């Protein structure tokens, strides 16, 4: 086995470990919507998976990827797909760390302890009280952010698998 194959194995394994759990996040969110008393657990589960699996393994991927590229002597001028993939990766990781993860933690803080959101009171004849609008806005922001990150992942997959315009 060559160094390239070792780096490729590490790269693909990291991708599976990092991105696999993210496809469960919408399912966890749907379960939390169906049973609102478990929203805190759902958010803490998503946060733990992001903190312990997703982000650490995502951060290893440029190392193994660049080691592969340097090992086989990639001609960067003839592989624009690779540069595009690195740009998409950098944007997605930056967004995940600076926007998405803090949004999840902010939502957890809103429902934990003394800062837990109190239901919006319902007036006479109104429907049952629900979560406050600020909390719902955070949930919507998390959902949209997750969709954007999934789109970035799919773009990365297209660039890495089909290598449009590449020669390796």
Tens digits of residue pLDDT in 6-37: 999 999 999 999 999 999 999 999 999 999 99
Give the sign of the dihedral formed by CA 76, CA 82, CA 84, CA 88: negative
Among 2-6, 48-52, 92-96, 116-120, which is the least confidently predicted range? 116-120
Please determine, for residue 144, whether its predicted confidence score (pLDDT) is greater than 90.
yes
* Measured distance CA(168)–CA(76) in Å, rounded: 10
Burial of 160 (0-12, 13-18, 19+ CB in 10 A): middle
- Which of the four pLDDT bands, split at 50, 70 and 90, describes residue 113? low
Please give the pLDDT value at position 132.
83
Please check whether residue 102 is in contact with residue 141, taking contact to mean a CB–CB distance below 8 angstroms: no
CA distances from 142 to 83, 98, 107 (A): 28, 13, 9
Tens digits of residue pLDDT in 44-94: 999 999 999 999 999 999 999 999 999 999 999 999 999 999 999 999 999
Quote the percentage of the chain above a pLDDT of 90.
Answer: 80
Please give the pLDDT value at position 104.
96
Write down the residue that tokens 């949930």 correspond to.
139
Domains in the chain: boundaries: 3-162
* Measured distance CA(54)–CA(69) in Å, rounded: 23
Q: Region of 68 please: left (phi>0), alpha (psi -120 to 50) or beta.
A: alpha
Q: Tell me what the pLDDT averaged over the chain comes to.
A: 90
Q: Please tell me which residue, 120 or 67, carries the higher pLDDT value.
A: 67
Please check whether residue 146 is in contact with residue 47, taking contact to mean a CB–CB distance below 8 angstroms: no
């Amino acid at each position: 086995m060559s160094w390239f194959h070792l780096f490729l194995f590490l790269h693909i394994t990291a991708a599976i470990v990092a991105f696999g759990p993210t496809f469960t996040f919408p399912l966890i969110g749907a379960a939390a919507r169906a049973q609102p008393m478990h929203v805190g657990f759902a958010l803490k589960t998503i946060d733990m998976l992001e903190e312990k699996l997703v982000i650490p393994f995502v951060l290893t991927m440029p190392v193994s990827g660049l080691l592969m590229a340097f090992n086989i002597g990639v001609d960067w001028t003839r592989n624009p797909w690779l540069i595009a993939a690195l740009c998409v990766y950098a944007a997605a990781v930056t967004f995940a760390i600076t926007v998405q993860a803090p949004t999840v933690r902010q939502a957890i803080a809103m429902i934990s302890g003394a800062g837990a959101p109190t239901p919006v009171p319902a007036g006479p004849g109104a429907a049952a009280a629900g979560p406050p609008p600020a909390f719902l806005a955070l949930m919507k922001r998390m959902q949209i952010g997750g969709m954007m990150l999934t789109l970035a992942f799919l773009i990365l997959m297209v660039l890495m698998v089909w290598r449009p315009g590449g020669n390796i």
